[in-house]
Amino acid sequence: MVENVADTPQAPVEDNRLNPMFVDDVVAALEAGDIERVRLLADPLHPADVADLMEQVEAVDRAALAAALGDKLDADAFAEMNDYVRDDLIDALEPQQVGDLVQQLDTDDAVAIIEDLDADDQREVLRSLPADDRAAIEEALSYPEESAGRVMQRELIAVPEHWTIGQVIDFLRENPDLATDFWEIFVVDTGHHPVGTMRLSWVLRTPRKVAVADVMQREQTLIPVDMDQEEVALRFQKYALISAAVTDATGRLVGVITVDDILHIIQEEAGEDILKLSGAGDGDVNEPVFETVKVRVRWLMVNLGTAILASLVIGLFAATIEQMVALAILMPIVASLGGNAGTQTMAVAVRALATNELTESNTSRQIGKEIKVALMNGAVIAIIVGLVAGLYFANAHLGWVIAVAMVGNILVAGLAGVLVPLTLDRFDIDPAVASSVFVTMTTDVMGFFLFLGLAAATGLTPAG
Amino acid sequence: MVENVADTPQAPVEDNRLNPMFVDDVVAALEAGDIERVRLLADPLHPADVADLMEQVEAVDRAALAAALGDKLDADAFAEMNDYVRDDLIDALEPQQVGDLVQQLDTDDAVAIIEDLDADDQREVLRSLPADDRAAIEEALSYPEESAGRVMQRELIAVPEHWTIGQVIDFLRENPDLATDFWEIFVVDTGHHPVGTMRLSWVLRTPRKVAVADVMQREQTLIPVDMDQEEVALRFQKYALISAAVTDATGRLVGVITVDDILHIIQEEAGEDILKLSGAGDGDVNEPVFETVKVRVRWLMVNLGTAILASLVIGLFAATIEQMVALAILMPIVASLGGNAGTQTMAVAVRALATNELTESNTSRQIGKEIKVALMNGAVIAIIVGLVAGLYFANAHLGWVIAVAMVGNILVAGLAGVLVPLTLDRFDIDPAVASSVFVTMTTDVMGFFLFLGLAAATGLTPAG
């Protein structure tokens, strides 16, 4: 019978999530000290679900759960775990125990665990490893963080061009030490430079006597070892790659990146933008409270600065407001809608920059489009706001002032929404990090200035 | 020599993007009517880059470019193209031509093109297809949009359990009509129900006489044909899948989903949230202006409603503001920082819900954490704002009022930021779509109410 890990009724896992009642059961067994039952419950779980279980229980229960799970909490489960939760658990282990876990993993997963340790622990864990594992991991750690060199595995299959398919198959069958899970076979020259690649399905469909050179595809996408992981992910996605060869500065084949690592990166990077835009840092639910406070308060301070700037603009018109309090009542509408319109444009621009859809070739077209959209949306909103405000306060002059200010601010918003991210990108600043602050600062300041300034300049009075 | 499509100096493609100078060259050749040169330039491009080129040129040049490219603009390039750009091009083709393109594609890519056509064109294109292609596509179209049935391909390799590895390899070599690109071989019983799966690397590493039953893995993740693509993507990511079997309601194997399709879905879904939160709809740079206006103006109207609500709250305190214009100057600070704090919390909650990290098991812990963070951040910001406002206006009472209102509003923001997305999620409303409006409405209204209300209630006067 097929065992479907996710769809059996009352399964511990439903819709890719651990069933909350299942988690409660485990916690109850844990609190009752019933280790047997914890193990029985956890037995059918996939390593990814063991990792989830560890994340779902309260922090105080994690050490006890880890002890109860024993071998079920294996290296694969550690590899799947949230960074914060994993670091907590790893901190409680001896370097020798960490070394044992790490040895069971591919280099990329091992590096992911070791790179987060502090320098002393890192040295001790590395010392506990066999020489060749240690060398591989030390080499990986020598590459910049978030580069291809950190993500790649060294375990790969490479064969010479002059072999036949039969020789390849025999080589694979006769060498038990080779990797068991791979998706492509790389063809290399005598200097270990990649010259081609074969998908396994091609190897399987080809008669034994055919030469490798006749099956392999010569064009292939190579990943330089120092390429940023975000670029690697875009390349995988664009060319629909399952795995890709990684080469060093001299063009030698040094590793392979497989798509399962890329899935994590794409989701992380795409999800990061939303968190960065809001100034929420990593935005990890498992982040300790104090870390979260530190990250967020920094952006709140920046926001405080821009809010004070906007207040100073209002202060310029204190006399006008004193004369006519309706202006104070209405001014947040102009700022708020400008902010919203700017955020819409900015979100589109930030995404388009991240996915390489907004480029030098189409920038001016995009700016032209945003001007058109802003004028149309501005007109619609201005007519409504102008009518509502004019009628409510029985003051046609006020209606005109707010309508004109609204069109102006939505136009400012459209321009800021596209120009701010573009400018940051040109200066190699991540547009997702800083755009939001600049855009809403611009729309707040300009919103108050246009509305109050126009009121003052046209001599608006409560009588209209 | 290795041809690296992306890294040769002066290549048309650099860092996964088309070189702007290359695009200019193509456009210049096109405008000069030099079809030969256009073809020469485009010759080395991958289908994904041909698609990019089509997106980068101005809309008016696309028909001419398509004509110049001829066969280079093949079915694969169409499959990679942005929906809006593709629809424009497809609209200009005869149904017979579309049919010819579609026949060259796997079912999933063919469906992606056909599902966007209007009903008449769809019928005509389907009529032009051979009976079996038509049946496969019609079946795919019978599944809901964005379900596994739309994303899967029907082309797959399935073998009976009683075969040996040798029989499998011979079967693959002797049947030229089978799929050429596949990553797993599925094992089925006589009723075509999946009973196991073999990665190709295992098949290659196993001697011919070994039975399939001894190599295959019995546990496998099955995808129900009606599962939403977002859930499918989460499952691929969680279990690091390269491909997965899709089964119908009776448990029969009907198709396979491969990870390259999932890469697109993950990036789309993760990127969508940022666009939804800002009310920017699809947020596609290629979306026609009028579509963009329609999508965005809808959210601006909603925002107008919430902004008017906030203004009504200010209106309640018109008399207090009239007496003391400093309140009008300062009130946007309280609202703005509350909005920012709420957006931070909301972004984290929306991402955590989308990635299944925020669940029933840890909701109360998360709310508790947000309260702590809000109190700490609120205290820091309140002290600064209180001091600045109190000193600037030489009014200690005013300093106290704004400080207390600020702590209150940041606490409201923290609660709204986590409770709004959670509540929407419980009611099966996408938290990314509606959260932002509710959160900022709450922080605006409460910000003005707390600050002005506190000023009025404590009898704040310009004299302090």
Which residues of chain A make contact with B330, given a CB cutoff of 8 A? 311
CA distances B234 to A49, A231, A266, B203, B402, Å, are: 13, 22, 12, 28, 45
pLDDT tens digits, residue range B323-381? 999 999 999 999 999 999 999 999 889 888 887 888 888 888 889 999 999 999 999 99
Q: Do A279 and B340 touch (CB under 8 A)?
A: yes
Q: Do B263 and A267 touch (CB under 8 A)?
A: no
For residue A6, the model assigns a pLDDT of: 40
Would you call A241 an interface residue with chain B, using a CB distance cutoff of 8 Å? yes
The residue in chain A having the minimum alpha-carbon distance to the alpha carbon of residue B331 is A311
* Residue of B361, B304, B333, B301 lying closest to B452 (CA atoms): B333
CB contact under 8 A, A332 and B335: yes
So what's the pLDDT on residue B200? 94
pLDDT at residue B353, as a whole number: 87
User: Which pLDDT does position B66 carry in this prediction?
Assistant: 87
Q: Could you tell me which residue, A456 or B362, shows the higher pLDDT? A: A456
Fold of B13-151: MgtE N-terminal fold (1.25.60)
What is d(CA A96, CA A128) in angstroms, rounded to the nearest whole number? 6
For residue B75, the model assigns a pLDDT of 82
Local structure of residue A195 (DSSP, 8 states): E
**Reported confidence tier of residue A383, pLDDT bands at 50, 70, 90:** very high
pLDDT grade, residue A234 (50/70/90)? confident
Residues 327-386 of B with CB under 8 A from A: 328-333, 335-337, 340-341, 343-348, 350-352, 354-362, 365-366, 369, 372-373, 376-377, 380-381, 384-385
pLDDT at position A5 over 60? no
- Per-residue pLDDT band for A227 (boundaries 50, 70, 90) equals very high
Which pLDDT belongs to residue B5? 43
> Is the CB of B303 less than 8 angstroms away from the CB of A172?
no
Q: With cut-offs at 50, 70 and 90, classify the pLDDT of residue A99.
A: confident
What is the least distance, in Å, from the CA of A426 to any CA of chain B? 14
Q: Rounded distance, CA B11 to CA A454, Å? A: 53
3-class secondary structure for chain B?
CCECCCCCCCCCEECCEECHHHHHHHHHHHHCCCHHHHHHHHCCCCHHHHHHHHHHCCHHHHHHHHHHHHHHCCHHHHHHCCHHHHHHHHHCCCHHHHHHHHHCCCHHHHHHHHCCCCHHHHHHHHHCCCHHHHHHHHHHHCCCCCEHHHHCECCCCEEECCCEHHHHHHHHHHCCCCCCCCCEEEEECCCCCEEEEEEHHHHHCCCCCCEHHHHCECECCCEECCCEHHHHHHHHHHCCCCEEEEECCCCCEEEEEEHHHHHHHHHHHHHHHHHHHCCCCCCCCCCCHHHHHHHHHHHHHHHHHHHHHHHHHHHHCHHHHHHCCHHHHHHHHHHHHHHHHHHHHHHHHHHHHHCCCCCHHHHHHHHHHHHHHHHHHHHHHHHHHHHHHHHHCCCHHHHHHHHHHHHHHHHHHHHHHHHHHHHHHHCCCCHHHHHHHHHHHHHHHHHHHHHHHHHHHCCCCCCC
Q: Is B97 on the interface with A (CB under 8 A)?
A: no
Question: Are B204 and A203 in contact (CB < 8 Å)?
Answer: yes
CA-only gyration radius of chain B, Å: 30
Q: Does the distance separating the beta carbons of A259 and B259 come in below 8 Å?
A: yes
For residue B240, the chain A residues in CB contact (below 8 A) are 48, 260, 263
Instruction: Spell out, as residue ranges, where chain B has pLDDT lower than 70.
Output: 1-11, 464
Check if B416 contacts A (Cβ < 8 Å). Answer: no
Chain B residue numbers touching A4 (CB-CB < 8 A)? 220-222
Distance between A124 CA and the closest CA of chain B, angstroms: 30
Tell me the chain B residues in contact with residue A181 when contact means C-beta distances shorter than 8 Å: 199, 201
Architecture of domain B289-457: Orthogonal Bundle (1.10)
Q: Give the span between the Cα atoms of A136 and A102, in whole angstroms.
A: 12
User: Same topology for domains B13-151 and B289-457, yes or no?
Assistant: no
Nearest residue, CB atoms, B235 vs list A16, A354, A362: A16
Instruction: Give the residue extent of every domain in chain A.
Output: 13-151, 158-277, 289-457
- The reply to whether CATH 3.10.580.10 applies to domain B158-277 is yes
Show residues of chain B in contact with A219, CB under 8 Å. Answer: 3, 5
Question: Does A433 lie at the interface with B, CB-CB under 8 angstroms?
Answer: no
- Provide the shortest C-alpha distance from residue A291 to chain B (in Å): 10
Chain A 112-131, residues with CB within 8 Å of chain B CB atoms:
none
Residue A328 to residue B450: CA distance in whole angstroms? 16
Min Cα distance A357 → chain B (Å) is 7
Number of inter-chain CB pairs under 8 A, A vs B: 405
Phi-psi category of residue A117: left, alpha or beta, with phi > 0 → left and psi -120 to 50 → alpha: beta
A168-207 pLDDT per residue, tens = 999 999 988 888 889 999 999 999 999 999 999 999 999 9
The three-class DSSP label of residue A56 is: helix
- Min Cα distance A54 → chain B (Å) is 12
Sorted by sequence, the CB contacts under 8 Å of residue A321 that are 6+ apart come out as: A314, A327, A328, A452, B321, B325, B328
Residues of B in contact with A221 (CB under 8 A): 4-6
Chain B contacts of A407, Cβ < 8 Å? none
**What distance in Å separates residue B322's CA from the closest CA in chain A?**
6
B259 has a chain A CB within 8 A of its CB: yes
ipTM for the whole complex:
0.80
Q: A300, B325: Cβ pair inside 8 Å?
A: no
Of A286, A348, A362, the CB nearest to B56: A362
| A285 part of contact set with chain B, CB < 8 Å | yes
Spatial separation of the C-alpha atoms in residues B22 and A106, rounded to whole Å: 41
Contact assessment for residue A458 and residue A401, using Cβ atoms and an 8 Å cutoff = yes
Q: Which of A332-336, A347-351, B85-89 has the highest mean pLDDT?
A: A332-336
CB pair distance less than 8 Å for B239 and A46: yes
Nearest chain B alpha carbon to A318: B325
